[in-house]
Structure 1
Amino acid sequence: MATFTLELVSPEQLLFSDEVEMAEIPAAEGYIGVLPGHAPMIVALKGGVIRIHKGGAITHRLFVAGGFAEITAERCTVLAEEAVPVADLSRDSAATRIAEAEAAYAEAAKGESVEAREAAMARLLAARARLEAASA
């Protein structure tokens, strides 16, 4: 089966780099399935799980809190704000992050800055996606 190079990079480190058959990535508009020969594009990511397929099965599941992906016919590079293997997620930690994000959103909603409200909402949505991933 045809493959392409998938790289997942966080601010701290290169988390994954390998030839894969398919990757499902959580784009802002919805999940995108990336296959070899994909049309070139750059997409914003929302909080969600990247599923990596190799050998006809899902071999890795990684939670990303947001970022960007650059897709070409031969490569997909994910630049994640934060990335964690799903197996390392904790429901308790995710619930704490939701509470913190809700408080930050409530504070941002009091102000006039649309950008601050949008950033706080993105943080809250990513925290909720983290809990969903930790619970799966």
Structure 2
Amino acid sequence: MHAGAQCVGEHDSLRTAAQMMRDMDVGALPICGDDDRLKGIITDRDIVIKCIAEGGDVDQMTARELAHGLVWCDAETSVEDALVKMEEHKIKRMPVIENHRIVGMISEADLAKELPDSKLAEFVHRVYSGA
């Protein structure tokens, strides 16, 4: 897990989300509501495909409008169980929740550090086979 995930606010613009991704060198951000609870995930691809390519305005469209992916795991979840969940949902990043708050994100890079090559190759095949 990559600890200390920073959220983009649900009312923040897509430009703000993109700037946060640039500054943190990440491709996805959790979206948190005014209640500090996870509302979804937004990716750099979402911004390009669902806003820019459609002629949308990155200053007017909010992160909440593109929120998706309420798939998450608990901080106590094992690497193996997190891997299964990511494979099932064909996702490459997953928020980690503890006491109803986001505490981090699991990404492919995190998995690459923890998994043997054979298991990592299997994960990549399963997640990308339907992409």
TM-score, normalisation: structure 1:
0.30
Hey, which of these two has a bigger chunk of helix by percent? 2
Larger-gyration structure (1/2): 1
Hey, which of these two has a bigger chunk of strand by percent? 1
TM-score, normalisation: structure 2:
0.31
